[in-house]
Amino acid sequence: MANVGYARVSSVGQTLDVQLGKLKHCDKIFQEKRSGASSTRPRLRSCLEYVREGDSLVVTRLDRLARSTLHLCQIAAELERKRVDLRVLDQNINTGDATGRLLFNMLGAIAQLGVFAYPPKYPNLRSSPE
């Protein structure tokens, strides 16, 4: 059971130092300097391929991991399928326990509500009938 860290900053001019300091307890850390909006994040893909059943994927904040609520849900589904827990340090989320799973799902639901509460901002994401 390994703690596998993932750290990302959006541009080359930014530093990973703060995230790496918080992830220093991890057995392995994947680092990336790439925009969260980018659909190609090779180090994240490598990280998700690396984790195994019983491992924990550790990030400092949810926005370091996923580029959207949909992307976060896709990553969460992949981790659940592989039986890997997600730990988000700054938001004190650990999907390895019932409270963490509840909090994670509530945050995802709130984020989804925000998308549908403001449809003009996200016209392509509205899936509910008029």
Of residues 26 and 38, the one with the higher pLDDT is: 26
Percent of the chain with pLDDT over 70: 79
Catalytic residue list: 10
Q: What residues pair up with 59 in beta bridges, in sequence order?
A: 88
Whose tokens are 């995230």? That residue is 19
Could you tell me the CA-to-CA distances from 5 to 26, 59, 72, 128 in Å, in that order? Answer: 6, 6, 16, 36
Instruction: Identify the pLDDT of residue 10.
Output: 83
Q: What are the φ and ψ backbone dihedral angles of 63, each rounded to 5 degrees?
A: -70, -10
**Domain spanning 3-117: CATH 3.40.50.1390:** yes
Q: Is the whole model's pTM more than 0.75, yes or no?
A: yes
User: Is a pLDDT exceeding 90 seen at residue 127?
Assistant: no
Does residue 89 surpass a pLDDT of 80? yes
The residue ranking higher by pLDDT, 45 or 121, is 45
- What's the rounded Cα separation, in Å, for the pair 48 and 78? 8
